[in-house]
Structure 1
Amino acid sequence: MTITLVCGSHRKNSQSLKVTKFLASILDKNGIETNIIDLGNKPLPVWDPGMWEKDSEIKKFWIGYSKGIAESDAFIFITPEYAGMASPALKNFFLYLTGGDISHKPGLIITVSSGMGGSYPNAELRMSSYKNTRIVYIPDHVIVRHVESILNAETPESKDDEYIRNRLTYVCKVLIEYAKAFTLIRSSGVIDIKTYPFGL
């Protein structure tokens, strides 16, 4: 099983990347192969309609960039809150995806805040990123608040640090079980993305 983690921060070596690496370590301990896409260190160009053309330069670029995405069994999207919104880099990433890339696969949303925020990106992604991608977000999500003060050492340094580590471990285990279950849906023969490529 492979799970792709998409770090949506625009910054290099961001706090979101710190959270992403911690999540990857949890998955690794559970025997899951991970694929990390860091939009801060490996940014995507702004999407343009050339993606609809078979032999365009941007289409060729995406084919190389997206290696491993379609083969993944589940996804974790990690986004900071920018002005009450999910990061533009992550929203741009969703524009590149086609119906077959992540459709009918479980997704977990992790939002990151330096303060007490972080709830709006979760609501935004649940509302607008699933339509054509057909990602299926699991009910659980985690908001990592006061991120600078946690996940900085091998062991927890506070009760809040311990709590968020335990919560992240829990949701990763839940996601793994969803990934196992969703293989039955995709292999059932009822999914028809060719006839119905777009959501309503």
Structure 2
Amino acid sequence: MKLSIISGSHRQESYSAKAATYLQHLAYSEGFREVDVFDLSVLDFPLWNDGVWRGSEEWSEWRQLADDLKTSDAIVLITPEWHGMATPALKNFLLLCTSAELGHKPVLLASVSASVNGVYPISELRMTGSKNNHACFIPDHLIFRDCETLLSADKAVSDERFHARATYTVQSLAAYARALGPVREALQQGMKDFPFGM
């Protein structure tokens, strides 16, 4: 199975990127054979415009990522909590995605907070993040609270209880990926006929 992890921070060398590396390492141990991390601070796509529909040159980097996402079995979206919200880069990413990239694929939501917060971006993404791309957000999510101490080591976390929860959550994502494969197959034509949510 193939997993794509999107680090949604605008900052390079962010704690979201550290969380992505940790989850990448964990995903390999839980059955994913290919795990790619895409850092939106590096990719730096333009804000959505209708050139993406026309295939204009400014969207060539997006088309490469979109092609990669089409072959993924599951997705992880990671955002820092900025002013209680998901980042503009991650929201822009979701505007660009269609059912071709995310349709009926399990998506794990994760947020990163320097304090004990982090729930607001999860709520925001659950409410609006899947309308036209038909992503299937799994019931569980992860919040990397007190990230500066939690993510102090490379590819590891300092809290054993959090690690146990994260392991279960990635196992859950893998189970959904296996289960939703036939669903995606069965709904291919329907996604073309009805590309937008109501």
State if a TM-score over 0.5 links the two structures.
Answer: yes
Q: 1:178 aligns with which of 176, 179, 183?
A: 176
Partner Cα separation in structure 1 for residue 189 and residue 67 of structure 2? 23
Percent of residue pairs identical: 39
Which structure features the higher share of helix residues?
Answer: 2
Kindly state the Cα deviation for residue 95 of structure 1 after the two structures are TM-superposed.
1.1
Kindly report which structure 2 residues correspond to 1:101-116, keeping only aligned pairs within 5 A, or say none.
Answer: 101-116=101-116
Q: Structure 2 counterpart of 1:179, which letter?
A: A
**Structure 1 residue 58, shift from structure 2 partner:** 3.1
Q: In structure 2, do the counterparts of structure 1 residues 169 and 69 end up closer, same or farther at CA, with 3 Å as the change threshold? A: same
Give the letter aligned to residue 38 of structure 2.
I
Measure, in 1, the Cα distance between the counterparts of 2:147 and 2:189.
39
Q: SS in structure 1 opposite 2:180?
A: helix
With normalisation by structure 2, the TM-score equals: 0.93
| 3-state SS in 2 of match to 1:13 | coil
Q: Measure, in 2, the Cα distance between the counterparts of 1:66 and 1:187.
A: 18
Task: Note the aligned Cα RMSD (angstroms).
Answer: 1.6
2:110 aligned with 1:123, yes or no? no
**SS across alignment from 1:111:** strand
Q: How far 1:163 moved relative to its partner?
A: 1.5
Contact 1:109/1:142 (8 A) holds in 2: yes
Q: Is the 8 A contact 1:16 1:112 kept in 2?
A: yes
> What number of residue pairs does the alignment pair up?
196
1:40 aligns with 2:41: yes
Distance, in Å, in 2 between the alignment partners of 1:76 and 1:86 is 14
Can you give the 5+ residue segments of structure 1 that lack an aligned partner in the other structure?
none
Distance 1:169 1:49, change over 3 A: same
Contact 2:104 2:134 (C-alpha < 8 Å) held by counterparts: yes
Write the distance in 2 (CA, Å) between the matches of 1:184 and 1:4. Answer: 19
Structure-2 separation of matches of 1:66 and 1:191: 19
